[in-house]
Amino acid sequence: MARDKGRDNPARVKRQRKLRREVYVFTEGEVTEPGFITFVTENGTRKEPEHEIVCKVENRRAPTKRRKPLPLVEDAITKWHEVRRAAAKAGIEPDDWSWPQVWCLFDRDEHEDIPTAFARARREELHVAYSHPCFELWRLLHYQNYTSTFGGVCDSAANRLKQQPGFAQTYGPTIRSLSEEQVKQVMPGQLSGRYKTAQRYAEGLARRHAGRADQNGWDPYTDVWRFVEEGLDVSDY
């Protein structure tokens, strides 16, 4: 029998090897964003399912003062320097699939240091997923295409989210009204089967702000879908 010389080809062996990417995430929110990440990693449709994604919310126990955009970026930079050195030591190249990623997920809210946070992240090649006025806009886009300004007020987005048909019932069939803390919790029924809709609406919002340098003026805006696809390697959920 003829020998399959391809089996001994190092390049082929490398292509077939199961790869592993580590993704470290720093979130402004203590409940919603980590809950969302858990949902996506457990229920998402992977683009490269033969490879492994290991995602960790790095600042789960961080104090509130470190969860504002600029301190969040500063902490992420420290982590990025650490994991980048470790990856290089392990022989992983920046253009390899396994090259680690560090992401910051933060909102506009009423923070005044947004442009500075973006500038620092860009200089250090950190990944940022940004929502204006807040993460609740991304959740809202799973239900409707909202294009009007919120005036930077997150409560407006949260209140509109609560009003969506069936949203409250995902917490239980008898629930008709929700507390602020309940709204922060991410329930699978709020998201499943709605990703492509939210992505399409979010991309439309991004096009409206193309060319505008001041992120404070991107109202409304969210690019959480980039984190889903580029960070978590998920194309749908």
What does the alpha-carbon distance between residue 99 and residue 94 come to, in Å, rounded to a whole number?
A: 6
Name the burial class of residue 230, with classes exposed (0-12), middle (13-18) and buried (19+) by CB atoms within 10 angstroms of its CB. Answer: middle
Residues with Cβ within 8 Å of residue 40, at least 6 apart in sequence: 228, 232, 234, 237
The closest of 101, 190, 100, 181 to 142, measured between CA atoms, is: 190
Mean pLDDT over each residue of the chain, to the nearest integer: 92
- Amino acid (one-letter) located at 144: Q
pLDDT tier for residue 2 given thresholds of 50, 70 and 90: very low
Dump pLDDT digits (tens) for 196-211.
999 999 999 999 999 9
As a residue count, the chain comes to 237
* Euclidean distance between the first and the last CA atom of the chain, given in angstroms as a whole number: 46
In this structure, which long-range contacts are made by residues 29-34, counting pairs with CB atoms below 8 Å and at least 24 apart in sequence?
29/67, 29/105, 29/107, 29/135, 29/184, 30/60, 30/67, 31/181, 31/184, 31/185, 32/135, 32/136, 32/139, 32/184, 32/185, 32/186, 33/57, 33/105, 33/135, 34/60
Please state the pTM of the whole predicted model. Answer: 0.90
Residues with Cβ within 8 Å of residue 80, at least 6 apart in sequence: 24, 102, 124, 125, 126
Highest mean pLDDT among 50-59, 159-168, 171-180: 50-59
Dump pLDDT digits (tens) for 129-138.
999 999 999 9
- Residue 10 has a pLDDT of 47
Phi, psi of 5 (to 5 degrees): -65, -20
Dihedral sign, CA of 127, 68, 148, 186? Answer: positive
Dump pLDDT digits (tens) for 30-74.
999 999 999 999 999 999 999 999 999 999 999 999 999 999 999
Q: Is the pLDDT of residue 11 over 90?
A: no
